[in-house]
Amino acid sequence: MPISKELAVRILKYLLDNPSFYFPFKIVCINFDEDDELYDVEVSQEMLDEVLNNDDFKDFELVENLQHLDLQTLQLMSKGFIEKIINENAIDSIEQSAKGYRELWKMNLCESVNIEEYGLNEFFGGKAEGFEELLEILKEHISKNYE
């Protein structure tokens, strides 16, 4: 799975600060050949400094390294899968609400002199905008978490 340099640095810092945490992935820098010693990004302060200071470290990937699946690792992986399922259901629901309210909103009623017609149309438009903004924020939040 491709990850950004910023996320690679965050992961390295976390793993350095939490040495007993088992991270079931290797970080690799695909700017180097697999035979190059800099391809596998080791969890060390020296490697973190190298990644931060060397412009050759640009593109990273996570590669599975499922050697020691302890209880905590399994729980975290399970949470990730469940979160993905729940977030997709939430996104689908929000998208449907946004589309539904957007279909109810009518451009020609924006200048209606009938206050009830105008008010209801504004209500539908406001709901549609709210759901659309929520969808945008949620998608942005999810994508930032996986960069």
26-74 pLDDT per residue, tens: 899 888 878 777 777 888 888 888 888 888 888 899 888 877 777 777 7
Residues 111, 141 within the same domain: yes
Q: Are residues 41 and 79 in the same domain?
A: no
Q: Are residues 43 and 77 in the same domain?
A: no
One domain, residues 56 and 79: no
Q: In what order do the strands lie in the sheet with 40-41?
A: 2-3, 60-64, 25-29, 40-41
> Please, what is the angle between helix 71-104 and helix 115-145, to 10°?
160
pLDDT tens-place string over residues 13-25: 999 998 888 888 8
Residues 62, 27 contacting (CB under 8 angstroms): yes
Which two tokens mark 106?
């009518």
Could you tell me the pTM of the whole model?
A: 0.53
What is the tens place of the pLDDT at every residue in 103-135? 999 999 999 999 999 999 999 999 999 999 999
Nearest-angstrom CA–CA distance, 127 and 133:
10
Domain boundary among 47, 68, 89: 68
- Which contiguous run of DSSP H or E holds residue 41? strand 40-41
Residue 57 sits in the same domain as residue 81: no
Chosen domain end from 68, 101, 123: 68
- Clarify whether residues 54 and 76 are in a common domain: no
Same domain (yes/no): 58, 84: no
**Of 68, 85, 105, which residue constitutes the final position of a domain?**
68
Residues of the domain holding 127: 72-145
Do 47 and 80 form a contact (C-beta atoms < 8 A)?
Answer: no
